[in-house]
């Protein structure tokens, strides 16, 4: 049973019951009187009054003391804390107007701020914003936006600025089919953006949700995937934000909050803007969506990422810490169910970044490589150019031809001519995928420590055929079975899960819905949460290691419906160590494999030092499969491109090779 809650009160800030504007004005005056100010008194008072009450306090302050409260607060406070408190004191429309004014003044434009505000506000909020902008700055907001933006991005912003979206009770069934985004999208991107702009900017939320479902049925991919593959830059970001707000505003804001705090540094303007603007609207739902997506509470993330009075004020607005493995609120359960449904229905078009070379001539490539390595010095540019612009199958032909034409081993020559990370990367590209995976498994287990994350990543993400070919390659190269190597290098439940995955015997074929429901039902999974942990882990393991990914998507979807809990939360709460990491990786891969790899790449490069082995492993192994999709997921999750990360984190010919494989800047 979900937590009971007043369905009309989604915010964490509400009217103070025994409110007295005059005594509050006096309390604030006293807190700022004399030398220094009582910041705690200020933040506690302001965060425990609604915005409407704050406006009454501001009016009372002016009539009692003849001064403007906001001016006094600006004088007494400094930095982020000042911005946050002053933001809370402004009426919502004037706060939005100030944010947009700041976003478009000066040399550069903060497009993300424009996108966030204009995609997420209701018609009424947009109209109030336009009026507040005119009142505060004596300027026309539409004219300022036109002067500061261009192209389709500008057109869509102007449509949103009209605040003419149909109200939610307007759903016309005949129009749902007529509004065929598939015709405007897949079939003729580049010619019919106008139709996209008109529909996404004007139709009601409920109507568009039906249109998105219809699109999914026809295209067998989500509207988001289509936008990611066909658009780019600010227009892509804007259209994705519109779609995300149509699907779920709380989830959209949860993602924006996460991006504002993760990694080095905090995007305080974004954090302040969202916490201020949503505190009375849907902060409870944002908290829940945050927990659903990131397996940690918004409260904890704010606590870890901020300090001082600024932190205390943000935590007051957040309103509480969420039990990590608690049950979903009804809205979040619906969102989780829908996420799995979309995941189950989507047939993602996977795209690599490396393709077969059109005018391929293995003999001429072999001669060119020999020439690049002959004599004094090595022509790295030629080696990089040939190896990165041929498919793996073509590279195998080059290896064969190199031997038959020149009587030499290409791999041995490359090894003697190159060094360090460039050598590892080029040799990785020259191996067959099975040889490369076998070598990566060997590297993960040799020496003193074991690289458990590598073992998990490879065994969880490879198909049955890829695993079987890797096992053969491992036996050929190291005269020992991969299973024996795993058994001697790992232990306990973790060993059992790796050996199970190493069989390459995951089921294939169509999804049996009755069986998926059976797997999800209380007797198998929800009940297992109360069983002793060994029994529960056995049940989880047998299902996660043997069922097909499409089947597991349906299992996880039904699990939400049966238990009102999220599968990932159960794993996080009930399991530990490498076994938990392996189970978690399976669920992440089932949900969205390119996103799982994007996260692994981010972890390989963030912070001090680079995990070059992980970077090389993923870039090599995914380059012909789904690296394009991984790039798109990387950009959406981390607000930076994979290209930028590689550029900033590597150097020399190693960087050059990685960037060619990356295949684009997005």
Phi-psi region of 407 (alpha: psi -120 to 50; beta: other; left: phi over 0): left
Average pLDDT in the chain: 87
Report the pLDDT value the prediction gives residue 3, as an integer from 0 to 100: 37
DSSP string, 259-321: HHHSSSS--HHHHHHHHHHHTTTTHHHHHHHHHHHHSS-HHHHHHHH--HHHHHHHHHHH--P
Return the residue matching tokens 């001697």: 488
Provide mean pLDDT across the span 476-481.
95
Task: Tell me: do 476 and 527 sit in the same domain.
Answer: yes
CATH code, 577: 1.10.220.10
Binning pLDDT at 50, 70 and 90, where does residue 180 land? low
Cα–Cα dist 275/451, whole Å: 40
Task: Report the residue count for the chain.
Answer: 666
Whether residue 154 is contained in a domain is answered as yes
Residue 642 above 70 pLDDT? yes
What are 358's two structure tokens? 């059109």
CA separation for the pair 466, 457 (Å, rounded): 13
Same domain, 584 and 467: yes
Same domain assignment for residues 511 and 644? no
Mark out the alpha helices in 90-122 (DSSP H runs).
92-104, 111-120
Q: How many CA atoms lie within 13 A of 63 on its CB side?
A: 10
**Average confidence (pLDDT) over 361-372:** 96
pLDDT score of 572 more than 80: no
- Looking at residue 220, what is its pLDDT? 77
> Is residue 388 assigned to a domain?
yes
If phi over 0 gives left and psi between -120 and 50 gives alpha, with beta otherwise, what is residue 479? left
182 pLDDT more than 70: no
Number of C-alpha atoms within 13 angstroms, CB side, residue 296?
12
Same domain membership, residue 600 and residue 533: no
Report the pLDDT value the prediction gives residue 171, as an integer from 0 to 100. 62
CA-based angle 180:551:598, to the nearest 5?
A: 70
Whether residues 440 and 582 fall in one domain: yes
For position 22, what pLDDT does the model report?
96
pLDDT-derived band of residue 328, with 50, 70 and 90 as boundaries?
low
Q: How far is CA 335 from the centre of its chain?
A: 16
The DSSP H or E segment spanning 253 is helix 249-261
Q: Which two structure tokens, joined as six digits, stand for 631?
A: 């790039």
What is the pLDDT at residue 632? 87
Domain presence at residue 496: yes
What is the spatial distance between Cα 218 and Cα 228, in angstroms, rounded to a whole number? 18
Tokens describing residue 79: 């930095």
- Going from the C-alpha of 507 to that of each of 323, 464, 511, 519, the distances in angstroms are 35, 9, 10, 14
Contact 584, 568 (CB under 8 A): yes
| Candidate from 148-152, 304-308, 518-522 with smallest mean pLDDT | 518-522
Question: What is the token pair recorded at 239?
Answer: 């259209």
Q: How many CB atoms lie within 10 A of CB 416?
A: 11
From the list 476, 479, 433, 437, the residue with the least C-alpha distance to 454 is 437
Q: Is the separation of the CB atoms in 104 and 114 below 8 Å?
A: yes
Q: Are residues 581 and 442 part of one domain?
A: yes
Residue 183 has pLDDT above 80, yes or no: no
Structural contact between residues 208 and 246, judged by C-beta atoms closer than 8 angstroms: yes
pLDDT (tens digit, 9 = 90+) per residue, 40-70? 999 999 999 999 999 999 999 999 999 999 9
Go through 327-356 and write b for each residue having 16 or more CB atoms within 10 A of its CB, e for each that does not: bbbebbbebbbbbbbbbbebebeebbbbee
CA 328 – CA 293 distance, rounded (Å): 12
Instruction: List the end-to-end C-alpha distance of the chain, in Å, as a whole number.
Output: 44
Residue 570 Cα distances to 166, 517, 589, angstroms? 40, 18, 17
**For position 341, what pLDDT does the model report?**
76
Pair (622, 505) in one structural domain: no
pLDDT at 338 over 80: no
- Dihedral of the alpha carbons of 443, 446, 449, 452, in degrees to the nearest 10: 50
Q: So what's the pLDDT on residue 506?
A: 93
For 467, the 3-state DSSP assignment is: helix
Residue 56 lies in a domain: no
Indicate the residue among 406, 430, 454 that finishes a domain: 430
- Model confidence at 9: pLDDT above 80: no
DSSP H or E stretch at residue 584: helix 577-605
Per-residue confidence (pLDDT) for residue 659, from 0 to 100: 97
Between CA 642 and CA 631 the distance in angstroms is: 6
In a domain, 221, yes or no: yes
Q: Are residue 440 and residue 583 in the same domain, yes or no? A: yes
Lowest mean pLDDT among 193-202, 271-280, 546-555: 193-202
Q: Which tokens go with 477?
A: 């190269």
**655: pLDDT confidence band, cut at 50, 70 and 90?**
very high
- Can you give the C-alpha Rg of the chain in angstroms? 28
Identify the domain boundary among 162, 197, 212. Answer: 162
What would the mean pLDDT of 197-202 be, rounded to a whole number? 88
Amino acid 331: pLDDT: 63
- Kindly list the distances between the CA atom of residue 560 and the CA atoms of 333, 339, 354, in Å, as whole numbers in the listed order: 7, 11, 39
In which band, very low, low, confident or very high, does the pLDDT at 562 lie, cut at 50, 70 and 90? confident
CB 318 within 8 A of CB 299: yes
- pLDDT at 575 (0 to 100): 77
pLDDT for residue 526 is more than 50 = no
Domain around 386:
376-430
Number of domains in the chain: 5
Residue 356: inside a domain: no
Q: Which helix (H) or strand (E) holds 106?
A: none
Q: Is residue 366 part of a domain?
A: no
The verdict on 580 and 456 lying in the same domain is yes
Q: In this structure, are residues 165 and 202 in contact, taking their beta carbons and an 8 Å threshold?
A: yes
Neighbours of 270 (CB within 10 A): 20
Same domain, 541 and 457: yes
Whole-model pTM: value is 0.76
pLDDT at position 472: 97
- Can you give the pLDDT at residue 27? 95
Residue 380 and residue 398 in one domain: yes
**Is there a domain that residue 212 lies in?**
yes
250 and 331 Cβ atoms separated by less than 8 Å = yes
**Confidence at residue 187, expressed as pLDDT on a 0 to 100 scale:** 47
Boundary (domain end) residue, out of 412, 430, 448: 430
Q: What percent of the chain has pLDDT over 70?
A: 89
The answer to whether 325 and 314 are in contact (CB under 8 A) is no
Rounded Cα distance, 347 and 225, in Å: 10
Closest CA to 303 of 325, 281, 322, 278: 322
How sure is the predictor about 541, in pLDDT bands with cuts at 50, 70 and 90?
confident
Same domain, 503 and 458: yes
């Amino acid at each position: 049973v979900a937590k009971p809650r007043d369905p009309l009160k989604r915010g964490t800030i509400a009217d103070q019951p025994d409110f007295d504007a005059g005594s509050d004005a006096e309390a604030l005056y006293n807190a700022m009187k004399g030398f220094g100010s009582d910041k705690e008194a200020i933040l506690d008072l302001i965060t425990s009054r609604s915005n409407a009450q704050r406006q009454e306090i501001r009016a009372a302050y002016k009539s009692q003391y003849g001064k403007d409260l906001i001016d006094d607060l600006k004088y007494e406070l400094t930095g982020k804390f000042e911005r946050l408190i002053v933001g809370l004191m402004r009426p919502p429309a004037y706060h939005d107007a100030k944010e947009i004014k700041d976003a478009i003044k000066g040399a550069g434009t903060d497009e993300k701020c424009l996108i966030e505000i204009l995609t997420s506000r209701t018609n009424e909020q947009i109209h109030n914003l336009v009026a507040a902008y005119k009142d505060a700055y004596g300027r026309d907001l539409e004219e300022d936006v036109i002067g500061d933006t261009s192209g389709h991005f500008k057109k869509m912003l102007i449509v949103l600025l009209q605040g003419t979206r149909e109200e939610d009770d307007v759903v016309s069934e005949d129009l749902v089919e007529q509004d065929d985004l598939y015709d405007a999208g897949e079939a003729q991107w580049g010619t019919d953006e106008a139709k996209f702009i008109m529909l996404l900017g004007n139709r009601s939320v409920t109507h568009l949700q039906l249109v998105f479902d219809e699109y999914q049925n026809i295209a067998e991919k989500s509207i988001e995937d289509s936008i990611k593959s066909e658009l780019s830059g600010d227009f892509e970001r804007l259209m994705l934000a519109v779609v995300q707000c149509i699907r779920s505003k709380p989830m959209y804001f949860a993602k924006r909050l996460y991006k504002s705090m993760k990694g080095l540094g905090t995007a305080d303007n974004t954090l302040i803007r969202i916490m201020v603007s949503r505190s009375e609207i849907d902060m409870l739902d944002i908290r829940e969506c945050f927990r659903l997506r990131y397996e940690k509470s918004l409260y904890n993330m704010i606590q870890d990422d901020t300090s001082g009075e600024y932190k205390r004020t943000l935590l007051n607005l957040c309103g509480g810490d969420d039990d990590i493995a608690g049950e979903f609120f009804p809205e979040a359960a619906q969102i989780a169910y829908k996420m799995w449904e979309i995941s189950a229905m989507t047939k993602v078009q996977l795209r690599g970044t490396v393709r077969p070379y059109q005018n391929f001539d293995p003999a001429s490539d072999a001669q060119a490589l020999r020439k690049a390595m002959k004599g004094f010095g090595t022509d790295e540019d030629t080696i990089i150019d040939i190896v990165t612009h041929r498919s793996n199958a073509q590279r195998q032909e080059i290896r064969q031809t190199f031997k038959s034409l020149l009587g030499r081993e290409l791999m041995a020559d490359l090894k003697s001519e190159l060094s360090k990370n460039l050598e590892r990367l080029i040799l990785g590209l020259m191996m067959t995928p099975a040889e490369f995976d076998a070598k990566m498994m060997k590297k993960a287990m040799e020496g003193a420590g074991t690289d458990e994350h590598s073992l998990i990543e490879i065994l969880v993400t490879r198909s049955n055929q890829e695993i079987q070919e890797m096992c053969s390659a491992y036996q050929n190269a190291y005269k020992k079975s991969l299973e024996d190597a795993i058994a001697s290098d790992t232990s306990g439940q973790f060993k059992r899960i790796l050996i199970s995955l190493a069989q390459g015997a995951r089921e294939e074929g169509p999804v049996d819905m009755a069986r998926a429901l059976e797997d999800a039902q209380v007797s198998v999974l929800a009940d297992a949460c109360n069983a002793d942990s060994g029994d529960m882990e056995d049940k989880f393991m047998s299902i996660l290691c043997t069922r097909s990914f499409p089947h597991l998507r349906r299992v996880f979807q039904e699990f939400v419906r049966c238990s009102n809990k999220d599968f990932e939360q159960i794993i996080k709460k009930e399991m530990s160590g490498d076994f938990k990491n392996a189970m978690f990786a399976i669920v992440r891969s089932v949900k969205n494999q390119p996103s799982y790899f994007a996260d692994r790449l981010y972890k390989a490069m963030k912070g001090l030092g680079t995990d070059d082995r992980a970077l090389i492993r993923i870039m090599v192994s995914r380059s012909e499969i789904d690296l394009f999709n991984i790039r798109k997921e990387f950009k959406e999750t981390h607000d930076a491109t994979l290209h930028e990360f590689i550029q900033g984190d590597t150097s020399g010919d190693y960087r050059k090779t990685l960037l060619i494989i990356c295949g684009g800047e997005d």
